[in-house]
Amino acid sequence: MRTFDFTPLYRSAIGFDRLSDLVEAAASASAQNGNGYPPYNIELIGDDQYRITLAVAGFKEEELDITSHENTLIVTGSKKAEDDSASDKTNTRKFLYQGIAERGFERRYQLADHVKVNSASLENGLLHINLVREIPEELKPKKITIHSGREQDLIEG
């Protein structure tokens, strides 16, 4: 079983401890269930920018669906059945060994507060989902000026 150390993430991005805890829980749950399909990476691209990369070899763009609802990101893939209307026996395939999974999947990711899906792209069998953390202006830290006691007396008097 593979374990991940999210300590650097805790140090570099305050408030993402919940995100990393959820990712760790999801990773351990999927390892226990044996559901490691499709494999994926989660990367820290920059300040408040993340990327989830899923290996979805064999899936076309129209067979993939990405949905973001509240703090949940759902990625589903459904392989379309081959055209059964062709009754030509020469087009049927017989596998001697089939190692490439052609099954549907659903992956769920719990996102931290204020994390939004920025973009998604499919290239060379890898689905890249770019995430960005956008903190509303009213929730950003504000600089508080410190006044000396004499200035405060002058303001009040």
- Evaluate whether the domain defined by 39-82+95-156 bears CATH number 2.60.40.790: yes
Residues 18-61 pLDDT 10s? 666 666 666 655 554 456 789 999 999 988 899 999 999 889 99
Please tell me the pTM assigned to this model.
0.63
The stretches of the chain forming alpha helices (DSSP H) are 7-12, 17-33, 149-156
Position 85 confidence tier, pLDDT thresholds 50, 70, 90:
very low
Mean predicted confidence (pLDDT) in 118-144 = 89
pLDDT on residue 32:
44
Pair 37, 103: CB distance under 8 Å: yes
The beta strands (E) that lie in 12-157 are given as 40-46, 49-55, 64-69, 72-77, 105-110, 115-123, 126-133
Closest to 130 in 3D by CA, of 115, 112, 118: 118
CA distance 101 to 106: 14
Q: 5, 27 in Cβ contact below 8 A?
A: no
